[in-house]
Structure 1
């Protein structure tokens, strides 16, 4: 009975770890340094992406992954809201501290 319990527990842990691995967010570009300009942060001139999706940034000495909308699945991470200026647009980003349990780097 003890052996069956241990085997079932091991199977549960394997299944749980696979599900956790599959849920990580894939980051495909290197981090960009956001530049402070008064109350806004702006992108380097070489950055030509729109505001949608996930963005890997370096801000305030911390690597963060930012998104326009709050991400409930990341609520356990340290979150910083920053004001972004992209061309003539100004908007808020929700930036979560990078954690390899939640994000996978592939660049």
Structure 2
């Protein structure tokens, strides 16, 4: 069992090194993107999370009509329903889960 545990730990070390190499390569490629300064100007977005956000949004700037459309796509815009005197404000269930996860990080 000890030998098996050591073999699994060695595999885990190799995978961790691969993740670090992939993160460095993604960061380097993202630094050369024309929107790098715009995306990283948002609070909490560095190279890796900024690359994730840009990958989920896409590079086509005219894709969203306004900021509210992007906010709804990310699931950050609340849904307000009003009927008569009652008003219901809920969170958006239909959203891009990967973009919402990157925003959460």
Q: TM-score, normalised by structure 1?
A: 0.30
Higher relative helix content: 2
Q: TM-score, normalised by structure 2?
A: 0.31
Q: Which has the higher contact order (CA 8 A, sep 6+)?
A: 1
- Larger of the two Rg values belongs to structure: 2
